[in-house]
Amino acid sequence: MSGTPLLQVQNVSRRFGGLVAVGDVTLEVGRGEILGLIGPNGAGKSTLFGLIAGALPPSSGRILFDGHDVTSLPAPERCRRGIARTYQVVKSFDSMSVLDNVVVGALVRYPRAAQARAKALDVIEFAGLSHRATAPAGELTPPEKRRLEVARAIATEPKLLLLDEVMTGLTPAEAARGVDLVRKVRETGVTVLMVEHVMEIVMPLVDRAFVLHLGRELAHGSAQEVARNEAVISAYLGDRRRAS
């Protein structure tokens, strides 16, 4: 299996009514790489994430994970196969403690709760959240919540980790710590597909970048190639102008 890419998205589209959120996207993520999925607001990045993680079915196209067709598998089964994700809008289990949040993730590999708790303790240490282990997740600061989302996903021992704008809303110092965490995760052998709106953060981190614009592929290649791409620049500048 190691010859095939870890994730293959083949001609995947997703329509909501008449609106095409993702149109005929084909991309591959190789084992052990960090692929940046970038694009302006509303480019369809989060929808594509949902399609890969199994939160919603594609209107057409196929998704292969580890060489197997997972297009029709529900989200929990994809998690069991090794796909984990975070959410752009943080979805922590607010009434549960930080530790218990992570235990939920660990249970998919360790059905015995005691083992899952041991694993979760391990993971929150790794994610730098040990000092907050017993705090209710609802009381965390926004950067801590982002960290918790990553920890929870790592606890499922994924092969592929989908990070949806984990750096958004962080101060530069916090973002730097976030980048460190992502590097650390990759060093453990996890493949990372990360959505980021802010190019300055992702570009130094990723091996390759894939640019999505209005639901379709605009460009892909190395970070430098993409950063020099005319179409990308104009899409981004246009976006900036609209935003300001």
Q: Does the protein bind other proteins through residue 147 (CB under 8 A)?
A: no
Tokens 């639901």 found at: 215
Among 34, 70, 190, 235, binds other proteins (CB under 8 A): 190
Q: Does the protein bind other proteins through residue 227 (CB under 8 A)?
A: no
Minimum distance of other proteins from residue 155's CB (angstroms): 8
Q: Does the protein bind other proteins through residue 135 (CB under 8 A)?
A: yes
Distance CA 68, CA 95 (A): 37
Minimum distance of other proteins from residue 73's CB (angstroms): 12
Minimum distance of other proteins from residue 33's CB (angstroms): 17
Among 14, 45, 152, 208, binds other proteins (CB under 8 A): 152
Q: According to CB under 8 A, which residues from 63 to 92 bind other proteins?
A: 74-76, 79-80, 84-85, 87, 91-92
Positive or negative, the Cα torsion across 169, 171, 174, 178? positive
The residues binding other proteins (CB under 8 A) are 53-55, 74-76, 79-80, 84-85, 87, 91-96, 99-100, 103-105, 107-108, 110-119, 121-123, 125-126, 130, 132-136, 138-139, 152-154, 156-158, 188-190
